[in-house]
Amino acid sequence: MSFAVRRLQKELSKIHKDGLPQGISLVKADDFDEWLLDIRVFGENPLYKGQRFRLKFKFGNNYPIEPPEVTFTTGLERQIPMHPHIYSNGIICLDLLSPSQGWSPVQNVESVCVSIQSMLASNRKNERPEGNDEFVARNTKSPKHINFVYDDPTV
Amino acid sequence: MKVHVQKYSAVATWKWDVAEDEVCGICRVQFDGTCPSCKYPGEDCPLLVGKCGHSFHMHCIFDWIGTESSKGLCPMCRQKFEFEES
């Protein structure tokens, strides 16, 4: 059994035992390749009020030494949240998810969800990243391997 | 009644000198258990205590430090991960 599977088993049993923070719920974790979680944002932020968003986690064999691939995905009543760091195809530009920037193996599914939840909660801009349309049309790379420039600490 | 001990078998248990429920931040297994790559806990799967005060299974932290992206930093506090050679 791989390192990743054992680590994910630990995370899953902790989630079943202790639950997840408010606004975060596990939707699907049938295997150790891909999990789905829903997040909601609380507070008065009108951008996301009353909505749910779905995150897809893809784990490689080297998780947690390497970060999972985390994207937003659409579904029934699930849209891609508007955010200047979230492309309309669901790709999230967040240093925490980058192997060469902010990822650390002590992060886990829960902590990543909490970071993304607060990234939404603090956003006031109803817009997509610059160059969104071109990026979405052209990008063929896996989100983990895109060299984003993390230059905007304001959102 | 006087008892004369003629023979005894000593049995000992050991534990790492850390809080009982403390887990390795990388694999999330308790320190008294093994890292996911090992079968038996104990000397073959030791802990490494960094000078920054953060501990990990030696194999777990080496997996991380061995990657380019770690830049040699502690996963907890992002200071350079250094440890006392024992």
Task: Report the CATH number that the domain containing residue B44 is assigned in CATH.
Answer: 3.30.40.10
Question: What range defines the domain where residue B68 resides?
Answer: 19-78
CA distances from A108 to A22, A28, A67, A117, B63 (A): 16, 16, 9, 14, 17
**Using a CB-CB distance cutoff of 8 angstroms, which residues of chain A are in contact with residue B78?**
104
A113 is catalytic: no
Q: To 5 degrees, how large is the angle CA A73–CA A76–CA A77?
A: 90
Gap between the Cα atoms of B85 and A17, Å rounded: 38
Could you give the number of structural domains in chain B? Answer: 1
CATH number at residue A91: 3.10.110.10
For residue A76, the model assigns a pLDDT of: 84
pLDDT(A4) > 70? yes
Residue A149 is assigned to a structural domain of this protein:
no
pLDDT(A150) > 80? no
Question: What range defines the domain where residue A74 resides?
Answer: 3-140
B11-19 CB contacts, 8 Å cutoff, 24+ apart: B14/B42, B16/B47, B18/B47, B18/B55
DSSP, collapsed to helix, strand or coil, labels residue A128 as coil
CA distances from A146 to A81, A100, A135 (A): 20, 11, 11
The residue with greater pLDDT, A8 or A99, is A8
Q: What's the average model confidence in pLDDT over A69-85?
A: 94
Shortest distance between the Cα of A67 and any Cα of chain B, in A, equals 11
| Helix, strand counts (H, E) of chain A | 3, 4
- Inform me whether the C-beta atom of residue B39 falls under 8 Å from chain A C-beta atoms: no
Residue A146 is assigned to a structural domain of this protein:
no
A66 close to A103: Cβ distance less than 8 angstroms: yes
For residue A155, the model assigns a pLDDT of: 60
Average pLDDT, chain B: 89
Residues in chain B predicted with pLDDT less than 70, given as ranges, are: 86
Confidence of residue A124 (pLDDT cuts 50, 70, 90): very high
Confidence of residue A101 (pLDDT cuts 50, 70, 90): confident
Gap between the Cα atoms of B4 and B2, Å rounded: 7
pLDDT(A149) > 80? no
Residue A152 is assigned to a structural domain of this protein:
no
pLDDT(A108) > 70? yes
Residue B84 is assigned to a structural domain of this protein:
no
- One DSSP character per residue, A48-59 reads TTT-BEEEEEE-
Confidence of residue A153 (pLDDT cuts 50, 70, 90): low
- Inform me whether the C-beta atom of residue B83 falls under 8 Å from chain A C-beta atoms: no
Residue B63 has which token pair?
């997996």
- Inform me whether the C-beta atom of residue B64 falls under 8 Å from chain A C-beta atoms: yes
Residue A147 is assigned to a structural domain of this protein:
no
Mutation to test the A interface, candidates B31, B57, B67, most A Cβ within 10 Å: B67
A88 close to A82: Cβ distance less than 8 angstroms: no
pTM, entire model: 0.86
Q: Minimal CA–CA distance to A125: which of A96, A97, A95, A86?
A: A86
Q: To 5 degrees, how large is the angle CA A50–CA A55–CA A58?
A: 175
Shortest distance between the Cα of B47 and any Cα of chain A, in A, equals 16
Residue A153 is assigned to a structural domain of this protein:
no
pLDDT(A145) > 80? no
ipTM here: 0.80
Residue B1 is assigned to a structural domain of this protein:
no
